[in-house]
């Protein structure tokens, strides 16, 4: 009997925590010769609009807007390149990449649903109570709103690589 293909969605960003979560996933959840599909998702934040004091808003030149967009694209490319290098030894496992725009909390939840993810893997920044209250926790939001199982991987304080149990 053939194994069912699993669709494993891994949210990646420029932080060490998401790369650790991907590495942990590769060592503990994805098997090299399985029929799994690993989907690496990076969310580019939406452009911010800064209102002027008089309420008219700032107008940015097209050069500035294009420069910001190019920078955002380079960050996304760098994150996905780094993530794909971690996946280099997978043989039958399909690796897909996605870059989406918007608030990571919303985008990750939407993409988990849209892509039919069997599991969502995320890193945890480990913010304390105050930072989490001010900034919000993407992983907490996703754990509460995504319909598939959510695996939140916390990077240990030591720098040892993840290993199989």
CB atoms within 10 A of CB 105: 18
Is 1 within the bounds of a domain?
no
Would you give per-residue pLDDT tens digits along the chain (165 residues)? 456 789 999 999 998 999 999 999 999 998 767 788 999 999 998 765 555 444 555 556 677 777 888 888 899 999 999 999 998 877 778 999 999 999 999 999 999 999 999 999 999 876 555 544 544 588 888 999 999 999 999 888 775 556 555
**Domain count of the fold of the chain:** 1
The model carries a pTM of 0.80
Here the tokens at position 101 are: 């725009």
Q: In this structure, what CATH number is given to the domain that contains residue 103?
A: 3.40.50.620
The reply to whether 60 falls in a domain is yes
Tell me if 56 is assigned to some domain: yes
Q: Is 120 domain-assigned? A: yes
Does residue 160 belong to any structural domain of this protein?
no
In a domain, 76, yes or no: yes
Note down the domain range covering 61.
Answer: 7-154
Tell me the CA distances in angstroms from 68 to 48, 77, 126, one per residue in order: 11, 14, 28
Domain contains 162: no
**Angle, CA of 149, 155 and 158, to the nearest 5°:** 155
């Amino acid at each position: 009997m053939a194994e069912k293909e699993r669709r494993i969605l891994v949210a990646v960003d420029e932080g060490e925590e998401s790369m650790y979560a991907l590495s942990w996933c590769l060592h503990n959840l994805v098997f090299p010769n399985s029929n799994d599909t690993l989907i690496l998702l990076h969310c580019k934040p939406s452009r911010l609009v800064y209102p002027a004091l008089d309420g008219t808003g700032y107008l940015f030149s097209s050069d500035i807007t294009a420069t910001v967009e190019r920078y955002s694209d380079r960050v996304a490319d760098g994150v996905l390149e780094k993530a794909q290098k971690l996946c280099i030894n997978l043989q039958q496992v399909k690796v897909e990449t996605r870059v989406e725009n918007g608030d990571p909390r919303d985008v990750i939840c939407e993409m988990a649903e849209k892509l039919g993810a069997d599991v969502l893997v995320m890193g945890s920044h480990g913010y304390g109570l105050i930072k989490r209250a001010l900034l919000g926790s993407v992983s907490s939001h996703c754990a509460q709103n995504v319909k598939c199982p959510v695996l939140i991987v916390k990077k240990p304080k030591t720098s040892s690589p993840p290993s199989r149990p």
